[in-house]
Structure 1
Amino acid sequence: MSIGIFNVPAAKNEPVKNYAPGSPERALLKKALEEARSKVIDIPQYIGSEEIFSGNKKKIAPPHDHQHLLGYYHEGNADDVSKAIKTALEARHEWASLNWEQRAAIFLKAADLIAGPYRAEINAATMLGQSKNAYQAEIDSACEIIDFLRLNVNFMRDIYEEQPISSDGVWNRMEYRPLEGFVFAITPFNFTAIAGNLPAAPALMGNVVLWKPAFTQVYSANVLMKVFKEAGLPDGVINMILVDGPIAGDIIFKHPDFSGIHFTGSTKVFQNIWKTIGENIGVYKSFPRIVGETGGKDFVLAHKSADPQALATALIRGAFEYQGQKCSAASRAYIPANLWDDVKALMLKDLSEIEMGGVEDFGNFINAVIDERSFDKIATYIDGVKTSNDAEIIAGGTFDKSQGYFVHPTIIRAFKPDYITMCEEIFGPVLTVYIYDENNFDEIIKVIDQTSPYALTGAVFSRDRYAIQYATEKLVNSAGNFYINDKPTGAVVGQQPFGGARGSGTNDKAGSVLNLLRWVSPRAIKETLISPTNYKYPFLERG
């Protein structure tokens, strides 16, 4: 039983290491990369205390070197899903009854393990398995997951401290119970931090979880499970299943104890999940929590007063870091005609210097896209430009998958604002720009708002404060994360809680108290200190 109201370590973000030549972190990471490439590993499913090696082995290879074998993951089946549900529900009562500070201690330890002894290993796994360069891996698989784990503990305490007022003779209090059942976490390939946070956040609040990572992220997901186990997470609290989505969903979404989904992925998949949950709503013990962050077609709007150099840098970084494979990546830009020549020249200069290749060479800014399916999709969009009269390629436009899935950073100029690459999510290193009359700022804002079904991130560049306010107000529903004079990527846990609305998700803001509130079911308790003993109220007396 808890005795005391405990403070937790102060909320602060993990410092980002720079991996400069000669730095100790660079040497450690290089060693971890060499070690990982030198061996072939087998990755099991983690269900309760068991590591399940199914024998149905699937190859894991670096996207930038797809002939190299890193290892295999053992794909599961429907029986494994049912077993994971049973195991999670068996662990539920004891985990939900554990004092909150004990749960906090586990995830705080996990954060310290990643910050210390596992930092190089998890960064190397992210670099090799997901083709991220050293810096992109550092801000993701080290700093961001550390921030999620540490700051979520602070948010949890804030939630528990939120209590109702009491009147004379009454003591009111609020319990924040975990959900009744299990949570299903479906995570994407592009961020190791998201993959770790989606199961960990509900678990921190006392829930048990089935976690299905993307098959293309299993290599670093395995490191996360090792960390959680070493941190002391009890068996059955987070169960990692490696099962095809429809197979898992067919069992999970029909189970009466399904209590919520924590999802990051495509809008179409999330819509199908929501529909399935609705069709099965009468099966469940309670209405499931549906939390999701989905697609984006993120914009950068430049006013005629914008700084061309700052704008060009934001577009290069925002569009091409991690090959544009971020939900928040700058994908469409609206540039006034008076700035276009300068911005174009600056971007072309930067692109002429940028190098592309494997992550092991720290001089490469651009690496490979995640897999052949993604490569082919991106190539189709680029090839479409080459035969179109409505757009032209300004830079890049070439690709090669002979050794790795490499797509050169590509800038497309669209001659009409509804050209396909201005509207559809591509998820690759492709930026489309539309040049507008610098005197039509208000009209282009209407175009931006109406072009895409998404509303995840967006940015405005201007040195005119009236223009900034105007854009901020008129684009109020166009982006859940809005940036002024900065690229629309790089949200930091606790600083810019992340999430969008419209077709981009439920906007439950990962990295904030808002998200954790979704994983509890509050119970209000009223205790009357001296109970009434007569039913009569004073107004009943006849005067």
Structure 2
Amino acid sequence: MVSNAVFKIEKPKNEPVLSYAPGTKEREELKARLVELRTQEIEIPLIIGGKEVRTGKLGMCIIPHNKEVVIGRYHMAGEKEVNDAIEAALAARHDWESMPWEHRASIFLKAAEMLAGTCRCTINAATMLCQSKTAYQAEIDSACELIDMLKFNAYFLNEIYKEQPESTKDSWNRMEYRALEGFVFAVTPFNFTSIAGNLPTSAAMAGNVVLWKPASSAVYSAYHVMTILRKAGLPDGVINFIPGPGNVLGSIALLNPWLAGVHFTGSTATFQSMWQTVGQNLPNYRTYPRLVGETGGKDFVFVHPSADLEPLVTALVRGAFEFQGQKCSAASRAYVPESMWPALKKRLVEEISTTKMGDIEDFTNFMGAVIDAQAFRSIKGYIDYAKESPEAEIICGGNADDSVGFFIEPTVIVTTNPRFKTMEEEIFGPVLTIYIYKDEEIEEALDLCDSTSIYGLTGAVFAQDREAIVKIEKRLTHAAGNFYINDKPTGAVIAQQPFGGARASGTNDKAGSKINMMRWVSPRAIKEHLNPPVGYRYPFMDEK
């Protein structure tokens, strides 16, 4: 029997961040769970149509800060498994999109409560070990942000469903919000467990079926999310978990006629390649696929001469070096007035010298390791380039060591060239490049800030002069999709700062907002005439 009630989801409140301070219960539980997970190796299968699939082609899940420790081995999908996953998703599609929306939402709301309770220390410990995040960085990501994503997306979907057109005395007009006709291909990054969980679930919540390809370096934490979703009651085939090489999986999924959408977070080059593939195959699809992507960033901090020194120092250290700079929003370039530079340089070097880097199970460490050997080599290459350039000076950091884990010191480069390589290109590591401008050339500096990078994700201004803030905010309108005033350019919170940027940073569909959820529904307008006309003639056709 179909329910005849109209259900309502109350607007959630953001999940409180636990402190993990000495003496707290959560700290004790998390430390114990870290030891448990670190000392066991798990086997991770594919999940296709609810069945565990083992291909025998294995990849390893290692701890970045202790690279010899293997915490998991995962089976990789190939051509057969991708086709099987598409078939399973399409088989589940009718029942899933036909399920009353409140029952779909209930599954994800239950998963959120599991994450907030019994599964919290497990998902945080898995993220800490898999991605070398500190307790705080894991807590705000894999616990709080993922909980918020699930709860708020259910609320946003409810708000969308409530939006209805105007009716008249003769017609009752309605709008229904269908799932997309086909499957959604969700390709998720290594750096945020919350993003890895959100990309498949936001589409699924709206009635879509999904193929989920997690980043190879974060299969371990993604699998823990998938396990929680299944325990929360997610039906078989709705989300199919298929880790494996992106070029193999993508070449099959993107060419399938039933591709209805892509939900992506990753590199600009990869997303552009995917978009190009879709564009070249438009005649083959049943519908125009929705392409939603959040890609790269070269995020800035623009400093006005009126800025307060200490908040600026804190923002640069946290914004550039938390989670080893492996955030799309990380502060990567800064523009500093000449008058402030001597004092800022002194305090910045002093503050960075107090930071500790190492094993994240030592809670006194501010930083862990970068994600893998490839990232280590890439980041080190940028630092070595700066070391050899006459246009750059490294004022702190600059060292890298991969003997135990993939450790790179927090590094600050000062350049005399505003278009120096490390001012322009995304590094995705703990490297901040500073350009010092003459106070009287602030207009030129703003032009440089706006034009140097191809990206437009996040940025910040530090100033106490309100007129300057207004002017800079306006001047940098298109330079950042998330703009911060007297704060670091990282740390967007669901429903408070919907996240996303334009230019080469993505489609700006604002994860953590109703805007994003609208991308996963296909509206159908329905008109029911209550007083249908009889006869085709209109009054204007009559003669006296």
TM-score bracket, normalised by the shorter chain, equals over 0.9
Match of 1:121 in 2: 122
Secondary structure of the residue aligned to 1:359 is coil
For 1:34, the equivalent position in structure 2 comes to 35
The normalised TM-score by structure 1 is: 0.99
Contact 2:77–2:249 (CA<8 Å) still a contact in 1? Answer: no
Deviation per residue, 1:390-413 (Å, 9 max, x gap): 000010000100000000000000
Specify the SS of the correspondent of 1:523.
Answer: strand
Question: Equivalent residue for 1:465?
Answer: 466
* 1:131 equivalent in structure 2: 132
* Distance (Å, rounded) in 2 between the aligned partners of 1:405 and 1:464: 42
Question: Which amino acid is 2:281 matched to?
Answer: N
Instruction: Map 1:80-229 to 2 at 5 A.
Output: 80-229=81-230
Q: Which residue of 1 aligns with 2:242?
A: 241
- Name the counterpart of 1:282: 283
Structure 1 unmatched ranges of 5 or more = none
Partner residue, 1:527:
528
1:321 aligns with 2:322: yes
User: What's the counterpart of residue 517 of structure 2?
Assistant: 516
Counterpart-to-counterpart distance in 2, 1:198 and 1:494: 16
Shift of 1:9: 3.5
Distance 2:323 2:4 in 1: 47
Measure the CA separation in 1 of the matches of 2:3 and 2:535: 38
Match of 1:19? 20
CA distance in 1, matches of 2:385, 2:244: 35
> 1:239-388, aligned counterparts within 5 Å?
239-388=240-389
Distance in 1 between residues matched to 2:514 and 2:492, nearest whole Å: 16
Tell me the secondary structure at the aligned position of residue 67 of structure 1: strand
**Secondary structure of 1:68's partner?**
strand
Deviation at 1:113, TM superposition (A): 0.4
Q: Aligned partners of 1:69 and 1:104: how far apart in 2?
A: 36
Alpha-carbon offset, residue 55 of structure 1: 1.5
Separation of aligned partners in 1, 2:125 and 2:12:
27
Q: Write the distance in 2 (CA, Å) between the matches of 1:154 and 1:464.
A: 39
The residue identity in structure 1 corresponding to 2:137 is Q
Instruction: Please report how far the alpha carbon of residue 10 of structure 1 lies from its aligned counterpart in structure 2 after TM superposition.
Output: 2.8
Deviations 1:202-254 (A, max 9, x none): 00000000000001111111110111001101000000101211111221121
* Cα deviation code 1:426-474 (max 9, x no counterpart): 0000000011111222211101111000000000000011110111111
Which residue does 1:501 correspond to in 2?
Answer: 502
Shift of 1:274: 0.4
Q: Distance in 1 between matches of 2:247 and 2:3?
A: 42
Match for residue 398 of structure 1?
Answer: 399
Does the CA contact (< 8 Å) of 2:116 and 2:143 recur in 1? yes
The runs of at least 4 aligned residues of structure 1 exceeding 2 Å deviation read none
2-side partners of 1:9 and 1:26: how far apart? 31
Structure 2 segments unaligned to the other structure (5+ residues)? none
Q: What whole-Å deviation, never above 9, does each CA across 1:256-285 have from its counterpart, x for those lacking one?
A: 110010000000000100000011110000
CA contact (8 A) 2:185 2:263 kept: yes
Two-structure CA RMSD over aligned residues (Å): 0.7
Q: Secondary structure at the match of 1:510?
A: coil
Query: Match for residue 232 of structure 1?
Result: 233
Structure 2 counterpart of 1:307, which letter?
D
CA–CA distance in structure 2, aligned partners of residues 308 and 402 of structure 1: 37
Counterpart of 1:69 in structure 2 is 70
Quote how far apart the aligned CAs of 1:535 are.
1.5
Q: Letter of the aligned partner of 2:182 in structure 1?
A: G
Tell me the CA shift for residue 343 of structure 1.
1.2
Q: What code does the residue aligned with 1:163 have?
A: Q
Q: CA deviation at 1:8?
A: 1.1
2: CA distance, partners of 1:366 / 1:252: 37
Q: 1:58 Cα shift? A: 1.6
Identity, % of aligned positions: 56
Which secondary structure state, in structure 2, belongs to the residue aligned with residue 42 of structure 1? strand
- Superposed, 1:466-485 pairs within 5 Å as 466-485=467-486
Q: Following the alignment from structure 1 to structure 2, what is the Cα–Cα distance between the partners of residues 84 and 391?
A: 50
The CA deviation at 1:48 is 1.1
Q: State the TM-score, normalized to the length of structure 2.
A: 0.99
Task: Say which is worse superposed, 49-58 or 445-454, in terms of deviation.
Answer: 49-58
Shift of 1:49: 1.8
AA partner of residue 70 (structure 2): L
3-state SS of 1:440 partner: helix
Q: Match for 1:475: what amino acid? A: L
Structure 1 residue 5, shift from structure 2 partner: 1.5
- How far did residue 2 of structure 1 move? 3.0
In 1: Cα distance, 2:110 partner to 2:286 partner? 34
SS for the counterpart of 1:268 is helix
Which one-letter code corresponds to 2:323 in the other structure?
Y
2:50–2:240 Cα contact (<8 Å) kept:
no
Q: After superposition, give the CA deviation of every residue in 1:145-187 in whole Å (9 maximum; x if it has no partner).
A: 0000000011001100111001221000001000000000000
2:261–2:290 contact (8 Å) kept in structure 1? yes
Q: Distance in 1 between matches of 2:375 and 2:399?
A: 15
Residue 441 of structure 1: aligned partner = 442
What's the CA shift string for 1:62-105, capped at 9, x where partnerless? 00000112121111211000000000000000000000100110
Count of matched residue pairs: 543
Aligned partners of 2:105 and 2:205 also within 8 Å = yes
CA distance in 2, matches of 1:146, 1:452: 33
2: CA distance, partners of 1:38 / 1:322: 23
Counterpart-to-counterpart distance in 1, 2:198 and 2:3: 26
Shift of 1:540: 1.6
Identify the residue that residue 539 of structure 1 maps to in structure 2: 540
CA–CA separation in structure 1 for the residues paired with 2:283 and 2:265: 25
